[in-house]
């Protein structure tokens, strides 16, 4: 499963969801859901805005693949 590392990035850069929302123009609830990995879909536009705001150079800095435990 793909997951955002946004919560870790915000912590490392000493930012919160509200500050990122103001910087990117993305609604606060959207940023909050993305940071908590509650969001089911991420728009390319929002990902791009976050990449620019956090000065990321590679998408792997923002998104990671985590193997899901097997379903019983």
For residue 13, give the CATH number of its domain: 1.10.260.40
Whether 69 is covered by a domain: the verdict is no
Q: What is the pTM of this model?
A: 0.88
Whether 70 is covered by a domain: the verdict is no
Per-residue model confidence as pLDDT tens digits over 5-33: 999 999 999 999 999 999 999 999 999 99
Domain containing 14 equals: 2-59
Per-residue model confidence as pLDDT tens digits over 57-71: 999 999 999 998 877
Per-residue model confidence as pLDDT tens digits over 29-58: 999 999 999 998 999 999 999 999 999 999
What pLDDT, on a 0 to 100 scale, did the predictor assign at position 23? 96
How many other β-carbons are positioned within 10 Å of the β-carbon of residue 54?
18
Local structure of 3: helix, strand or coil? strand
Count the domains in the chain. 1
Whether 9 is covered by a domain: the verdict is yes
């Amino acid at each position: 499963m793909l997951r955002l590392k946004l919560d870790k990035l915000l912590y490392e850069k000493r930012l919160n969801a509200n500050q990122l929302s103001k910087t990117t123009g993305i609604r606060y609830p959207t940023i909050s859901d993305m940071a908590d990995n509650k969001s089911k879909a991420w728009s390319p536009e929002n990902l791009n805005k976050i990449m620019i705001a956090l000065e990321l150079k590679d998408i792997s800095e923002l998104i990671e693949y985590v193997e899901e435990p097997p379903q019983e």
